[in-house]
Amino acid sequence: MSILIDGSSRVVVQGITGREAAGFTRECLDYGTRVVAGVTPGKGGAEVYGVPVFDAVADAVEATGADVALLSVPPTLALDAMLEAIEAGMPLLVVITERIPQRDVATALEAARRAGARVVGPNSLGVITPGAAKIGSIGGPAADVARAYQPGTIGIASRSGGMTTELASLLTHAGIGQSTCVRVGGDPLIGTTLLDAYRLF
């Protein structure tokens, strides 16, 4: 059974105009993920690979109905970005940014807990439900993703991005597909632990 994301997930990318975010936005679109909006304060009205950019998460949600926030913003801005997504009512935040100050992470995770929002990461590589959607840079470009990840019944949760893909690749080459693969993040403080992820499956 897939968890967290599927083909109907509508993704807003916070920090979409950044180098890394723009790169994996394209990868996600190529894979078929519905990336419906991006947010970069001050760059509202722009487009990234055809995805409209808004100044605020609330504007993006109102215009597009986004229900997954994918965050790739500079570490010092991550707390504000996470709080903004939580306040906009996003049920799921996937945080790619690494090196966020731990105090900021604690603050954001507590706010998410109170609001009932799930956080994957920080320092996640993303989540993939093979054949349906991927968010973040997990697996790389769409053509390379297909070589490692195939739809099936085995779930993967890992602290390591590299080993997530390595494991999926081993399974795929043994003819075993995957339901959803989650890179929970390598930091001490994370929103969804390995145990949490196993319980979701």
Contact set with other proteins (CB under 8 A): 20, 24, 98, 125, 137-141, 143-144, 147-148, 159-166, 168-170, 173, 186
- Residue among 155 and 185 whose Cβ is closer to other proteins: 185
Structural contact between residues 127 and 183, judged by C-beta atoms closer than 8 angstroms? yes
Which candidate, 74, 68, 90, 78, places its Cα nearest to that of 17? 74
- Residue among 75 and 140 whose Cβ is closer to other proteins: 140
N- to C-terminal Cα distance for the chain?
Answer: 6
- Residue among 113 and 173 whose Cβ is closer to other proteins: 173
Q: What 3-state DSSP class applies to 34?
A: strand
Q: What angle do CA 16, 146, 12 make, to 5 degrees?
A: 20
Residue with tokens 């970069």: 40
Which candidate, 168, 124, 146, 123, places its Cα nearest to that of 32? 146
Tokens of 1: 């059974």
Nearest approach in angstroms of CB 160 to other proteins is: 5
Nearest approach in angstroms of CB 104 to other proteins is: 20
Find all residues with CB under 8 Å of 170, minimum gap 6, and list them.
Answer: none
- Residue among 21 and 35 whose Cβ is closer to other proteins: 21
Nearest approach in angstroms of CB 156 to other proteins is: 13
* Spatial separation of the C-alpha atoms in residues 126 and 181, rounded to whole Å: 9
Q: Omega of the bond prior to 122 within 30 degrees of 0, cis?
A: yes
- Residue among 25 and 165 whose Cβ is closer to other proteins: 165
- Residue among 173 and 199 whose Cβ is closer to other proteins: 173
